[in-house]
Amino acid sequence: MEKKDIDWGALGFAYQPTDYSYVSNYKDGKWDEGALTTDHSITLSECAGIFHYCQEVFEGLKAYTTEKGDIVCFRPDQNAKRMANSARRIVMPPFPEDRFVDAVEKVVRANAAWVPPFGSGATLYIRPLMIATGNVIGVKPADEYQFRILVTPVGAYYKGGVKPVKVQVSKYDRAAPHGTGNIKAGLNYAMSLLPSVEAHAAGYADNMFLDPETRTYVEESGGANFLFVDKDGNLVVPQSHTDSILPSITRRSLVDVAENYLGIKVTQRPVRFDEIDQFVECGMCGTAAVISPVGEVDSDDKQVVYGMEHVGPVMKKLRETLTGIQSGEIEDKFGWVHKIDVE
């Protein structure tokens, strides 16, 4: 199979249409068979539920080429499960989890020429999404929906190597206590846009959101979960006592890597903001970068510096191990890497 003629090393994190997307529609109480499509546009009624009551959920994962030349993706079954849980929370019909994985395979296989080669640092980003397409005027769930998967090649998250970033404590809340902060829905990300724009304008990479009930505990950033390392080299993972942190698949995987590959003790608990200066490393984890090391956290009356000159040893080892598993350079003990057969 011949790859597309692309300067893979020059790719940024931006949308570029590929050959195929996947689409399936829900009508009369059931999902249709679904199919690949070359049409990357969506035509909707002005009264579609997505426009009025924001019934939308999405996911994000990647396909990449391993050292052996296989095309794989990472734990798509977990994305399927999380998307189904997100859909139920805002009264959307979950797309069947087995069909989700099959659809990912189909769309990646159809766009195999767009999967960047091993060693390029680039990947094929996979974006499943579901929207309410049925007409709705009164406040209620729609009766028709569309599930789609688009794919687009993206460059390495870090150009020129992984470097620590600065974050600020936001004056805004990302989600309501016991609201929708624990699902992957567009409405949560809309809430974070203004804080994100203001953070970037002030020279910060992202925000650190505190719990929306007491503003005492660390929650997450605009698009990633936080991790900390204590003075004994143990990993400390913030939990939300208001159930408003997105359950990150990357975070869950890093916890397993820490415990089962690296022998690191892991504690998952609520983390008070006033104790973060007791930690020696901090990072943000998510699909895009795996781990973004945090070198400094600033608030109105406090500055916590972990170091802007280099990545901490625990964060560095965690990131190297997980990316090594994904690329096939390190043995996959858990069967996380999902191979996609391409003719």
Alpha helices in the chain (DSSP H): 49-53, 76-89, 97-110, 186-201, 249-260, 313-327
SS3 62: strand
As a whole number of angstroms, the distance between CA 223 and CA 114 comes to: 26
State both tokens at 338: 């999902």
198-206: list long-range contacts, CB under 8 Å, 24+ apart: 199/167, 199/168, 199/170, 202/168, 203/166, 204/165, 204/166, 204/167, 204/168, 204/298, 205/165, 205/166, 205/167, 205/292, 206/165, 206/167, 206/284, 206/292
Catalytic status, residue 231: no
Show Cβ contacts of residue 97 under 8 Å, excluding neighbours closer than 6 positions.
Answer: 77, 80, 81, 84
Q: Which of 184, 302, 317, 333 is catalytic?
A: 184
Q: Please compute, for residue 282, the number of CA atoms within 13 A of its CA located in the half-sphere on the CB side.
A: 29
Q: Catalytic site residues?
A: 184
